[in-house]
Amino acid sequence: MNPRIVIAGTGSGSGKTTVTVGLLQAFKNKGLQAQGFKCGPDYIDPSYHTAVTGRASRNTDSWMLGEEGMKDVFRRGSGDADISVIEGVMGMYDGKSPTSDQGSTAEVSQMLEAPVILVVNISSMARSAAAIVKGFQSLSDSSRIAGVLLNMAGSEGHAKLCQTAIEQECNVPVVGFLLRGDAPAIPERHLGLIPAIERGELDSFFAELGTVMAERIDLDRIYEIAASAPDREWPVRKPVEPKHHAVIAVAYDAAFNFYYPENLELLEESGAELVYFKPLADEPLPSQADGLYIGGGFPEEFAEELAGNQKTKTSIREALKEKLPVYAECGGYMYLGDTLTTTDGIPHEMLGIIPVAVTMQTKLASLGYREITALDDSVIMRRGTVAKGHEFHYSTAEEKADWPPHHEVKAMRGTKQEGYYTDHITAGYTHLHFGSNPSIPARFVEKAAAWREKKENKQQV
């Protein structure tokens, strides 16, 4: 048995995250091993899932990973779980394209053969709620809507009106409702989220949400729906026997924590031993490191601390003088730059490795899926290699010198060339999912191993 359920919404803001986190907590309270997943390229919502369950939440992204890769991610996370709760992205049918289900919550539910609970905000409506559900049912012949959860009800009577209309017209059960003000508000998704979770500041929020869900939602019915999903033994993506071994240092703290679990696992499967360090704690780069991986996160929220932590900065600069292989994305790219200017207009000195000045702004600068093609050989890709990922950032980067771009980026609105690279550094805004091309972690480990060998040979001379 592999019980699984998808929590889809009619659009962003419908209440998917509240419902998902609440269900994970409520099932955990019942003594079940609950596993969280998130459709689409998101790091924030999985942080909530992980905090509640104590299990790493994973992204089931059908566009970045394809069907086989996405199922491999699901298998990795759900193997010993009693129930898997998969939070959707945006509206149920929103994804890569406005003309297909590609990359959408609906496509994930179809590929995983997982029933869907549709969350509907019923504020200011009654019978019209049935029209909304009916529309979502009819848009696709492969719709797997197996239940409806009503959100933002004005009263129990209001919820009952909508339930009657939906169950009569749509032939699916309403599994529960949440009154307006019933559930505590989701905490701020940006400022200090990870530190707050680590300090346990959100524990009371999770507990309250779990209690509300147990009172308002038919958990047994939802579990029955989840258990109705067919039992499947999807093929395991067998890792290739690693050809090289190297130590990869990973910057991991409140400033840098946007890593897909599979990126780290694929590095290990490619022969890497991962060692973690905290730039925010002014920890130096581990001395045994043969390579460095700096992911994304919120460096702008800790710019002053990062600028002042000289042990970390000096150790990385010294290693890069020796041409240590480095891969940095988004927040890591910003950290490698000359300066990071926060929204208060104050510039903070970063590592000064890449001649770029980064400036934070209050509006979103870039968002969306990206397909990249390497324009030349680098520490993570050979020329012509293709990989997939996404961008999400509020900063702009002003290049202070000319450099050849690392890759060509294909996005919804066209193509462009960007990214920084040298013979030992690759950096850019795009968050790559290594599952889209497992040759990336293998090449990174190969380059790190070659660097170590060269260093050892030099020491022996």
| Mean pLDDT within 137-148 | 92
Q: What is the predicted pLDDT for the residue at 199?
A: 65
Closest CA to 116 of 13, 16, 232: 16
Q: Considering the entire predicted model, what is its pTM?
A: 0.92
Whether the per-residue pLDDT at 191 is higher than 90: the answer is no
What pLDDT score does 124 carry?
92
Confidence of residue 106 (pLDDT cuts 50, 70, 90): very high
What confidence tier does 234 reach under pLDDT thresholds 50, 70, 90?
confident
Contact assessment for residue 387 and residue 440, using Cβ atoms and an 8 Å cutoff: yes
Residue of 459 and 375 predicted with greater confidence:
375
Which domains, and CATH codes, for the chain? 4-227 (3.40.50.300), 246-460 (3.40.50.880)
Q: Is residue 237 packed enough to be buried (19+ CB in 10 Å), middle (13-18) or exposed (0-12)? A: middle
pLDDT of residue 395: 92
**Is pLDDT above 60 for 440?**
yes
Average pLDDT for the chain: 92
pLDDT at 155 exceeding the cut of 70: yes
Task: Point out the residues that are catalytic.
Answer: 330
pLDDT surpasses 90 at 183: no
Q: pLDDT tens digits, residue range 33-73?
A: 999 999 988 888 898 999 999 999 999 999 999 999 999 99
Note the maximum CA span of the chain.
Answer: 83
